[in-house]
């Protein structure tokens, strides 16, 4: 049931309240009632799924990047506290791509809109075709198929590709999947699919369970350009996407916030 204040505002000609205000009044159900043009979110079941791989020196990285390093610099036996010095390139592990990663004057990690880091989660499952084609991509047809089955993609959603690629992590060489020329082969988004998500669906960000938003063999990085060039953010190397529903969950991206950053490791949670 809507509160009287929500009913009054929904019927008025004035500006609508912000998403944050609506959620504060009555939660996601109230938002669905005020914005009927968008698909209603499924009720939360109260679960939290960690979509983050544990960052470690053994985690695969993009070819040519060094692995993460951990150096102990303080010990409990000497001084009472333990501490490591950490060394890693920004785009290591489950990590965020800020627009500045691809666009010279794009927004950096410290300038991302925090409202977009908590978003409706949409999961596009292409694992069946990825099992037979390492260069499989999310297409516009895949997106339209999801919309037919689950309804409209919510405004400012985070759309994640699930390819099942993390099943290869037991053997990092198969996760990288380099050919004889050293070119990686792994699923990603087609550039036109990302353009469609940005222009037609108004997404806030997109993610993949592989090392790149693009198909690994794409030399043009069209998906990166389409997403980051539109001021949206990406998250690469997501985990456990099979454990969340195709729609109805909320993603929380614990983005890094270092001045001028192009990205960085992040903690990503799905609230189901």
Q: What are phi and psi of 114, to 5 degrees?
A: -65, -30
Q: What does the alpha-carbon distance between residue 33 and residue 11 come to, in Å, rounded to a whole number?
A: 12
pLDDT for the residue 216: 82
pLDDT (0 to 100) of residue 138: 98
Closest CA to 221 of 211, 213, 209: 213
- Position 217 scores a pLDDT of 85
CB neighbour class for 254 (10 Å; exposed up to 12, middle 13-18, buried from 19):
middle
Other CB atoms within a 10 A radius of the CB of residue 240 amount to 16
DSSP state letter for 139? -
Handedness of CA 103, 104, 105, 107 (dihedral sign): positive
What letters, b where the CB count within 10 A reaches 16 and e where it falls short, cover 83-95? eeeeebbbbbbbb
Domains detected in the chain: 95-271 (3.50.30.50)
Query: Got the DSSP string for 146-189?
Result: HHHHH-PPPTT-EEEEE--GGGGTTSHHHHHTB-TTS-B---EE
State the Cα–Cα distance between residues 53 and 168, nearest whole angstrom.
13
Question: Per residue of the chain (272 residues), what is the pLDDT tens digit?
Answer: 443 333 333 344 444 444 444 334 433 333 333 333 333 444 556 799 999 999 999 999 999 999 999 999 999 999 999 999 999 999 999 999 999 999 999 999 999 999 999 999 999 999 999 999 999 999 999 999 999 999 999 999 999 999 999 999 999 999 999 999 999 999 999 999 999 999 999 999 999 999 999 998 888 999 999 999 999 999 999 999 999 999 999 999 999 999 999 999 999 999 99
Alpha helix stretches (DSSP H) within 67-154 = 127-130, 140-150
């Amino acid at each position: 049931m809507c509160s009287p204040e929500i009913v009054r505002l929904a019927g008025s000609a004035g500006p609508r309240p912000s998403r944050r205000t609506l959620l504060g009044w009555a939660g996601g159900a109230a938002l669905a009632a005020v914005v009927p043009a968008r698909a209603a979110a499924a009720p939360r079941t109260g679960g939290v799924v960690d979509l983050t791989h544990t960052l470690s020196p053994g985690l695969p990285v993009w070819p040519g990047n060094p692995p993460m390093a951990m150096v102990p610099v303080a010990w409990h036996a000497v001084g009472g506290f333990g501490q490591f010095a950490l060394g890693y390139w920004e785009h290591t592990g489950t990590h965020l791509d800020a627009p500045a990663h691809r666009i010279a004057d794009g927004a950096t990690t410290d300038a991302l809109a925090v409202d977009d880091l908590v978003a409706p989660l949409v999961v596009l499952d292409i694992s069946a075709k990825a099992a037979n084609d390492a260069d499989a991509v999310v297409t516009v047809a895949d997106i339209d198929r999801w919309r037919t089955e689950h309804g409209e993609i919510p405004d400012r959603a985070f759309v994640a590709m699930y390819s099942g690629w993390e099943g290869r992590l037991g053997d990092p060489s198969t996760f990288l999947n380099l050919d004889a020329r050293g070119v990686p082969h792994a699923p990603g988004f087609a550039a036109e699919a990302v353009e469609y998500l940005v222009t037609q669906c108004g997404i806030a960000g997109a993610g993949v369970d592989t090392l790149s938003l693009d198909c690994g063999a794409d030399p043009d990085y069209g998906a990166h350009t389409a997403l980051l060039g539109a001021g949206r953010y990406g998250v690469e190397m997501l985990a456990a996407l099979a454990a969340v529903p195709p729609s109805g969950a909320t993603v929380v991206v614990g983005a890094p916030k270092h001045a001028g950053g192009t990205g960085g490791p992040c903690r990503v949670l799905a609230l189901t």
